[in-house]
Amino acid sequence: MTTVQPIAWSEAGVRILDQTRLPGEEVYLDLETVDAVAEAIASLRVRGAPLIGIAAAMGLAAAARDRAARGTLPPDWIAEAADLLEGTRPTAVDLRWALDRMRRTGADGCATGLPAEEVARALHDEAQLIWDIEIGMCRSIGEHGAPLIEPGSTVLTHCNTGVLATGALGTALAAVYVAHEEGRGIDVVATETRPLNQGARLTAWELGRAGIACRVIVDGAAASLMAAGEIDLVITGADRIAANGDSANKIGTYALAVLARAHGIPFFIAAPRSTFDLALASGAAIPIEQRSPDELPTAPHVQVYNPAFDVTPAELIDGIITDAGVLRPPLEEAIGEYGGRKVESP
């Protein structure tokens, strides 16, 4: 199976797939400065929380190598570069996690008096490690999730949770990719995912590149496909999971969970354990970002209510597929046991 490569090291920097041009055009950009990487993140050329963190770390490392080759690599330069990159998407947890690791690596190298080239090498290795952690975590999610997908199944998914979001196999899509690798003969139904169409634009495109059959539907059509017996299970990602298992994810996920239950179809969430926020007792405590009305084309002066996420209560979730295994109801207990462990990955 060949998946698309949304990020790679290039000769003098990092090479990214410009996701704003998808699915119409497949354009790769070589980014050689911190400013260029910051621009790519801010303008959503690189998107998906994990991939943003990886891109920022790799971009910082590549620019540091260039800086070191021209003489010095002062600790202030590293700190300022990290601040600039972190400011592009202030709410992205993975971005902060990745840049904190890069700051620490840079500061440690400088403090111990390593030559500039050695510090740059350490930053490169750290960025690669951040990427490798993501790759390993996604692979684990995929391997735990794939056995849930019976041969010949049709999987319904929402939004984009795959290679384009993570620079690795993804979360919900990791299970799909591994099931496909294992020759289970599955296919996918991708919801369009309004208002930003990540399903229609990104999921369908990356599955097509991997040779996995995929049909796109409008979000409102999921119910009639379920009623027709055409959906065997639903797997979505999650942005934040409370201690009791209530899960926040892209708007429209909760509807799919209610509909799946009404039609007797299993509903799974796939997410790394780092998605658990044990400080939150339940989904009621998860803040829901309200996004710009401009994302919906309507008349001027029309009021638009545009929440980015909704919360699916734990009782509608048949399991949470994590990098440490599938957590089954009662989710509160399962999360307490697995999610409570100290996790090194973001």
User: What residue ranges bind its own copies (CB under 8 A)?
Assistant: 22-24, 189, 191-195, 197, 200-201, 204-205, 208, 213-225, 227, 251-255, 258-259, 262, 296-307, 310-311
Max distance between CA atoms of the chain, in angstroms, equals 67
Comparison of 46 and 190: residue with beta carbon closer to its own copies: 190
Comparison of 238 and 259: residue with beta carbon closer to its own copies: 259
Comparison of 139 and 215: residue with beta carbon closer to its own copies: 215
Min CB(261)–its own copies separation in Å = 8
CB neighbourhood size of 117 (10 A): 13
Q: What is the DSSP letter of 219?
A: G
83 is known as an active-site residue: no
How many CA atoms, within 13 angstroms, populate the side-chain half-sphere of residue 252? 27
What are residue 309's phi and psi, to 5 degrees? -135, 160
Comparison of 16 and 316: residue with beta carbon closer to its own copies: 316
Which of 30, 232, 239, 318 is flagged as catalytic? 239
Q: How far apart are CA 189 and CA 231, in angstroms?
A: 8
Q: CA-CA distances (angstroms) from residue 237 to 21, 68, 107, 139, 299?
A: 24, 40, 35, 15, 32
What residues contact residue 132 under an 8 Å CB cut-off, 6+ apart? none
Provide the sign of the torsion angle of the four alpha carbons 163, 169, 170, 175, taken in this order: positive
For strands 309-312 and 247-250, give the pairing. antiparallel
What are residue 155's phi and psi, to 5 degrees? -100, 125
3-state secondary structure 53-84: HHHHHHHHHHHHHHHHHCCCCCHHHHHHHHHH
Comparison of 279 and 302: residue with beta carbon closer to its own copies: 302
Min CB(204)–its own copies separation in Å = 4
Comparison of 195 and 319: residue with beta carbon closer to its own copies: 195
Residue 189, classed as helix, strand or coil, is strand
Give the containing element (helix H, strand E) for 208.
Answer: helix 204-209
CB neighbourhood size of 302 (10 A): 8
Min CB(22)–its own copies separation in Å = 7
Instruction: List b or e across 51-60, with b for residues whose CB sees 16 or more CB atoms inside 10 angstroms.
Output: bbbbbbbbbb
Min CB(176)–its own copies separation in Å = 16
- Residues belonging to the active site: 239
